[in-house]
Structures are given as structure tokens and as C-alpha cells.
Structure 1
Amino acid sequence: MTTHMGPGTRPDTTLAGTLSSLLREGMPVRFTAYDGSTAGPPDCPVGLELRNRRGLSYLLTAPGDLGFARAYVTGDLVLHGVHPGDPYDALRLLMSRLEFRVPSLPEVAEAVRGLGPDVLIPPPVPPEEHPPRWRRVLEGWRHSMARDAEAIHHHYDVSNRFYELVLGPSMAYTCAVYPEADASLEEAQAEKHDLICRKLGLQPGMRLLDVGCGWGGMVRHAAREYGVEALGVTLSKQQASWARAAIEREGLGDLVEVRHADYRQIVEGGFDAISSIGLTEHIGVRNYPAYFAFLRDRLRPQGRLLNHCITRPHNRPQSIGAFLDRYIFPDGELTGSGRIITEAQDAGLEVMHEENFRRHYARTLAAWCANLVAHWDECVAEAGEGTARAWGLYLAGSRLAFERNEIQLHQVLAVRTDDDGEDGFPLRPTF
């Protein structure tokens, strides 16, 4: 159906017509509303169904990604033609063509009269949603140890079994490195850990600190394949428990320790190498100077640091968005690789190499979505349908963002050069 009006025609006051009229190019998918009205191309393989008035209130009271997420997570808004564990095809179409225009005041008044003023009363938020940032002050100041612990608990303590189903046997929840285009997810995660070991120049007997160690994939790989003594730290109690069990199962207890602690509580020093894989996103941009200074002070002279984190394609401040902040990464912050390098240098580290793995992360996310689809029923039973739907939305949306170069993934390799200017590196990289 069309929503354009000619001379003498009455405005389309159906729900589908009203919503479609707010889009610059009309509804890009098949849209069905609970009042029976429809809009958009009927032959589109992707359908969007608004099932009830609560879903409409979510959309109208929190415009943008947050309102969409609330309606979608609760099941009030349903995507047809895609699996909820991987709505990538639908998001690609919606994000490319869904552009709202600013309505005039008479249009707003007409819409409110037609829909009823009660649709502008915000419904209770879904239970999966984290409080807004202004309310989190009750948990401590932003990026204090207490508030960071709560943020990590919200994201990483979903369920170890849920993560096993989505991440696969590697239990590596960071960008994989695909040595070949047809490599499996497990091969790519092993290559990621091995590449970091090679960049750090690990040798038997060295001491490695892995901050934000997750389920211990890096420390276990480094100990097993390179014979190093490794210490991992994580703020997630469930991650630490899983990692310790894996260490014992693999017979690595003499070489590897995982602590449930904040990385800022590490008092040991003199490490030969430090890896930070997916931690920087959680610490806050304003804390980068203290973060890099702390890690530098834990290195011996000529000790190396590998920082692996999601970045922006620019170095300007930019929010991660309300959906990600409320449902996935509370207090998460991103910036560009230039800011990462600047802060590392200002902390006294010599930056030796940087590399962008943006396309690798898109592949990684596609593989995680495939796992979520394959194990959907068990994931729902383990974490709840709302959480599973939020994760499908997050993983597929992130894949699209990496493909479109809206976000990137950089590894930055640095060294604590000694007082004589020696860095311990060969003239050319060997990794």
C-alpha cells in the first residue's frame, strides 16, 4: 500500500500507514500491525510484525535502537523470514533503508489523536535491560572497581553453558584471526592466540600476564604451546571458575593461574609480556593513561604488551548506542586506534606494530550467529528467550557494523624500551 497523499485525499490513519509516513522512503519491508493494516512491498522476503500496543509504545517512547530492541526482546515486534538467532539479512535491509524524517507538529497531533495519548506512556522496560548510566551511580562512579565489577557481571555472567553454545569449544569471546578464508572458527581462534604469542616473542620460562583473561584461552594456549608461566585475571566469577576447571583438566596447573580480580589489583611486576584481549573496551577512554601506565610498570625492561580491542574508524568521542549500553556492554566505550597508540606512547611505551582485523571480526560474528541458531532451543532454555533474542540482534548488528567499517578491531604491539633505548626486537618482525 502507498502512504503518499494527493489533492483531496485523506491521510492514512491506520497504524501501518502512520508509521510508514514517518519514513523518508516508505516502509522497506513487509509490515503488519496488530490493527490488521499493512505497508511495504508484499513480496519482500523480510517481514516486520508489530503484535500489540505495548510494542508500539516502546517504539514511540524510545525512538531509535532502544525502542526497537525493547519491542523485539519482549516479542512485541517480530521479524519474519529470518531466525531470531541471526537476523542479519533483516538488519542489513533495515539499516540501509530505514530513515525517519522529522514530522510536522500537525502530523504529530494527528497521529496522537488517531493512536491515543496513552501510547506515549512508557511501558515497564524488559527485565533483561540494564539501568541507564545516570542511575548506575548507585553502583559507584563510572569505571570504579565496584561499578566495573557489576558491568562485567551483567555481560559475562549470563551462563557459562550459554557461552559454550555460542562461542564453541575455544570459549574465546574476541575476534578470531582467519589464516585462510575457509578456516573454521576453532582454527581461527587458535591462530589468534598463537599470533599474539608470536608477536609477544614468548619463550619457555617467560612470565605472561593476561588482563581480562576471560575463560583462560590465551593463558592456556601460551602455557601449552610455548611453555610460559601465565597469570590471568578476570572480573567475572563464572569465567574464573570455568577457566580453573579447564586448567586442571588440561594438566596446566603448574604453569597457569587464573584469579577473580580487577587487573588493578595485580601487585606482581617484572613480566616478560602482557596481553590484553578485549579489555580496553570496558575501562573507559579517560582511564587510558592510568591503564597503560599500570601495564608498563608491570613489564620488565624490553617486555612487550599486546593490546587487542574494538576501535572506531576515527578518534572522536562517540556513544556505543543505547541498545548496546543497556543490554550488552554497560559503560562500554570505544575510540580509534590513533587514541590507543597515543596513550600507549604517552605512558612511555614504544609502539612497534599495529594491525586491523575488521573483516576477521565480521567472520567471527557470523560464526557465533550460526552457533546461536544451531543451539537456539538450548540457549533459550539456559538464558531465557529475551536474552537469546538480544544476543542475536547484537551479534548480527555488530557483524553488519564491522562489514560497513563503522567499527574496527586493532592489535597494537608495544614494548617497554630499556634505559639504553634497547627494545629487544629483531630488525624485522618474525611473527
Structure 2
Amino acid sequence: MTSTYRSTNTQGSVPGQPRRRPPVPKVADIVRAVTASEPKVRITAYDGSAIGPADAAITLNVASERGLSYLLTAPGDLGMARAYVTGDLEVGGVHPGDPYEALRQLATGLQLRIPAAGEALRLVRGLGWERLRPPPPPPQESVPAWRRALHGLRHAKSRDAEAIHHHYDVSNRFYEMVLGPSMTYTCAVYRSESDSLEQAQANKYDLVAGKLALKPGQRLLDVGCGWGGMVRHAAREYGVRALGVTLSKEQAQWAQAAIEREGLGHLAEVRYLDYRDAPLEHFDAVSSIGLTEHIGLRNYPSYFRSLRDRLKPGGRLLNHCITRAHSRTSRKPAAFIDRYVFPDGELAAPGRLVTEMHDAAFEVQHEENLRLHYALTLAGWNRNLVEHWDACVDEVGLGTARVWGLYMAGSRLAFERNEIQLHQILGTKTTREGVSSYPLRPDWTA
């Protein structure tokens, strides 16, 4: 029997001849399809197309087909980061060490939309399905979470050590140029916006020391101590016997050398050690400055109990960490941060931290938000990266230097826009009899 079915030729081709492929869309066509209005930045591409104001101060150039594939196969921050790190997305009008202004304009002047299914299908057919095959990611990118599981469960000691190594063991020399002489990689405290970065970091350490009521002869444990900034400051300025622990071997080596160089060996020490293995001695105070982001929310109960168990009765804990601005947002960072900056990082809302400290038998005495201080701190780090750009590129390579410029500028914008915050929470190990050693009013100056 002869079939009566006859195909419908939607492309205008002659029956029996190959169907014509739809015209290949330009990059500008794709931008129009995924944006709600004309972008305020100028976007150009390798195919000669362009969209946006010709006189825009900020320009984006999709320099290659690979760059377009990065953007298409990982829409959002991850795809843009991949293309930017490899040089397939060129940003004009800003220095690569501080692309803050470009990110700010993209955040406010590029309104994205999801194209209709039919429109998206036509674009993909025109581009070719092979365009949706992801190119290999840049070497700076960490493996996805499912592959990290090969190093153990999330926040197991071995996996945490690998995550810390990815971020902190980049190069001590690189960090010296970006962080400045304090070698402090946490939020500073500005008495005014005219404070230098170094002065603001000293202000932060004095604020922590004041909240902990540090005095000569006391013992301080600083968990996640980095390059030993708090340890050295407490020993030098307050006569405190301080022990710092870090999961970064390079940090520990640098910090211990700095302690000896500054003649503080009789008071200070930094060990390459997981905080869970810190000595079970009774300390007068514990500081945790920038560690909580790495330990995982499900580990909060054991984390705070561990710190409590290392305190004397009446001792104080100061917990300083980045937090979510809203409980309804994801506890996990965006894809770029997870893959390039803080693998396995997790953020809590400040209320969760207060609750966990409270449930671990700390009496919460004080809390404050230093959100805008971190924006100023990041701006300072970006300035240092710009100032030492050539040396930083020589030290770690162009791709890694771009990662850091992008990460710090993006984080600055997130703090300014109240997408993330920075909270310090002070608690005491109050006795069963209600003795906390905490005065009627705070005994430090802001």
C-alpha cells in the first residue's frame, strides 16, 4: 500500500532535497533574545555583530566561538567566569584587577529574560547543537561537588583540607601583594572611609581583642588563623599567649616564620592543624575569624561545642563570618564562587548562628553587622591587585589573577547591595551558677 503521508516543508525546501538549515544567528541576536531591554553596556562579538550604546564606557567582547559556547552551556555567572578567565570574554573600560564598575553596570543595566521555547529552539538550530557541548573549563576551576565526594563526604577532614588547599595555597607571595603587610584575609574595620587598609585591619584586631577582653598572660586560641594576623597582634599588643591553627600548610609555614621574625616565639605559635584537633586545654578566649563559612551548616552544633569545650568557665568566643542577608536564599554560594573560590562553602543567616551558639550553651552577649566594612576591605584588595598586576600575573598566571580580580570585585558589589553580610557574634561560657565575667555594659570601645 502506498502511504498517503506527505511531509510538511516548513523551511521552503523542495521535496526530496535536504532541508535548508536556518540562518546562523549572530551573537547580538542571542543577546536580544535573552534580554528584556537594550543593554546599557556595549556588547560586540567575533562575528562582527554588536548591540548596546556605541559610546558606552563599558564594553564586552565575545572574542571567540569557544567564549560563546561557555556562555550558552553555563548560563549565568559560571559561564561568564569561564569565558572571562580564558580571555574569550574581553571587558573594556576597566582594569582586569578591578572589574567592579563593569559588574555594577551589568547588575543594574542588563535585565535578563528566558526566551520562549520556540524562539530558543530556533536559535539552537541555527547555531547547531554542537554549540551546546561544553568546552573544557579553565584549569583554575575546581571539580564539581559530585567529584569532590571522592575526597570524602562534605566537610570530612580530608575534603575540607583539599578545599582549603584550592583557595589558600595559591602563593604566599601573591597574597602578600594583594592583602598588604598585615597578610589579613578577613573583613577590616574602618573608623572612617579615609582609613588605610592596614589601619583598618589593625582596628579589626583591636576590636576583636577588646570584645574578648584580652589581657597579658591570658591564653587565646585562634581557629582558622590564616597567616597568623590575630595571633601575632594579640601577642605583640596585648601580651597574650596565642595559638593559631589552620588547614593551609603554606599559611602555617609563613605565619610561624613571621612569628620568629618578629620575636614573638615566646608568646605565639601557629600549627598546621584542623580546628577539631586543637588541644583540649582551657583557653581564656577563642577567636574564629572567617572559618565558619568553611565548616558546613550541619556541623555547627559540633563546631560550637568544640570551641566551648576549649574555653575556661567565663571565657569568651568571638565568631566573625560572612552570612546570608536573607534566610530564604541558598546556603550554598553561586556557581562561580563554589568552583573557583570557596569549594564546599556554606553561609548561614545571622539568626542561625545565634541559635547554634545559644544551643551550644553559649550566652550570646553582643552582635554587630560589618557589611559595608567588607565592601571597603575588598576595594582595598582590588587596588592592591591593580597596583601589583604585572607581578601578580608573573607569580600565579593571568587566568588566576583574573579570577581574583573578578571574585573580589563581585564580592564587593554583593556586600554593597546587601546580598551578603558580615557578622561578629560574642558569646560567653557562662557557668551553671550564671557567672559569665561579662560586665553590665560592653567593656570595649567600638
Displacement after TM superposition at 1:315 (Å): 2.8
Q: Does 1:349 align with 2:362?
A: yes
Alignment correspondent of 1:245:
257
Q: Does 1:334 align with 2:347?
A: yes
Q: Does 1:73 align with 2:85?
A: yes
SS of 1:240's partner is helix
Gaps of 5+ in 1: 1-9
Tell whether the 8 Å contact from 1:317 to 1:335 is kept in structure 2 after alignment. no
SS of 2:399's partner is helix
- Residues 42-61 of structure 1 aligned to structure 2 (within 5 Å): 42-61=54-73
Give the alignment partner of residue 378 of structure 1, picking from 391, 405, 413: 391
Cα distance in structure 2, aligned partners of 1:407 and 1:268: 34
Partner amino acid, structure 2, of 1:334: L
Q: Does 1:123 align with 2:135?
A: yes
Larger mean CA deviation between 250-259 and 266-275 belongs to 266-275
Displacement after TM superposition at 1:317 (Å): 5.4
Larger mean CA deviation between 92-101 and 52-61 belongs to 92-101
Alignment correspondent of 2:41:
29
Partner amino acid, structure 1, of 2:354: I
Partner amino acid, structure 1, of 2:366: H
Displacement after TM superposition at 1:31 (Å): 0.8
Structure 1 residues 285 and 316 mapped into 2: Cα distance closer, same or farther (>3 Å)?
Answer: farther
Give the alignment partner of residue 396 of structure 1, picking from 409, 415, 419: 409
Alignment correspondent of 1:428:
441
Larger mean CA deviation between 342-351 and 413-422 belongs to 413-422
Cα distance in structure 2, aligned partners of 1:425 and 1:112: 65
Give the alignment partner of residue 305 of structure 1, picking from 308, 317, 325: 317
Larger mean CA deviation between 44-53 and 95-104 belongs to 95-104
Cα distance in structure 2, aligned partners of 1:35 and 1:347: 60
Alignment correspondent of 2:290:
278
SS of 2:366's partner is strand
Gaps of 5+ in 2: 1-21
Alignment correspondent of 1:151:
163
Give the alignment partner of residue 164 of structure 1, picking from 158, 176, 182: 176
Give the alignment partner of residue 428 of structure 2, picking from 406, 412, 415: 415
How many residue pairs match? The answer is: 422
Displacement after TM superposition at 1:392 (Å): 0.7
Tell whether the 8 Å contact from 2:69 to 2:131 is kept in structure 1 after alignment. yes
Cα distance in structure 2, aligned partners of 1:236 and 1:125: 25
The normalised TM-score by structure 2 is 0.93
CA deviation map 1:185-230 (0-9, x unaligned): 0000001001100100011100000000000000000000110100
SS of 1:314's partner is coil
Q: Does 1:39 align with 2:51?
A: yes
Tell whether the 8 Å contact from 2:73 to 2:79 is kept in structure 1 after alignment. yes
Structure 1 residues 113 and 317 mapped into 2: Cα distance closer, same or farther (>3 Å)?
Answer: closer
Tell whether the 8 Å contact from 2:24 to 2:127 is kept in structure 1 after alignment. no
Displacement after TM superposition at 1:95 (Å): 1.2
Alignment correspondent of 1:212:
224
SS of 1:66's partner is helix
Displacement after TM superposition at 1:12 (Å): 9.7
SS of 2:287's partner is strand
Tell whether the 8 Å contact from 1:16 to 1:32 is kept in structure 2 after alignment. yes
Tell whether the 8 Å contact from 1:316 to 1:335 is kept in structure 2 after alignment. no
CA deviation map 1:109-128 (0-9, x unaligned): 22123222221111011100
Displacement after TM superposition at 1:24 (Å): 0.7
Give the alignment partner of residue 28 of structure 2, picking from 12, 16, 22: 16
Tell whether the 8 Å contact from 1:29 to 1:41 is kept in structure 2 after alignment. yes
Partner amino acid, structure 2, of 1:14: K
CA RMSD of aligned residues (A): 1.3
CA deviation map 1:255-294 (0-9, x unaligned): 1111001000113321000000000000001110000011
Cα distance in structure 1, aligned partners of 2:315 and 2:281: 11
Partner amino acid, structure 2, of 1:209: L
Q: Percent of aligned pairs with the same residue? A: 65
Tell whether the 8 Å contact from 1:45 to 1:81 is kept in structure 2 after alignment. yes
Cα distance in structure 1, aligned partners of 2:110 and 2:66: 21
CA deviation map 1:362-385 (0-9, x unaligned): 000000000000111111111111
Cα distance in structure 1, aligned partners of 2:32 and 2:391: 37
SS of 1:69's partner is helix
Tell whether the 8 Å contact from 1:12 to 1:18 is kept in structure 2 after alignment. no
Partner amino acid, structure 1, of 2:306: F
Cα distance in structure 1, aligned partners of 2:275 and 2:329: 25
Cα distance in structure 1, aligned partners of 2:303 and 2:111: 39
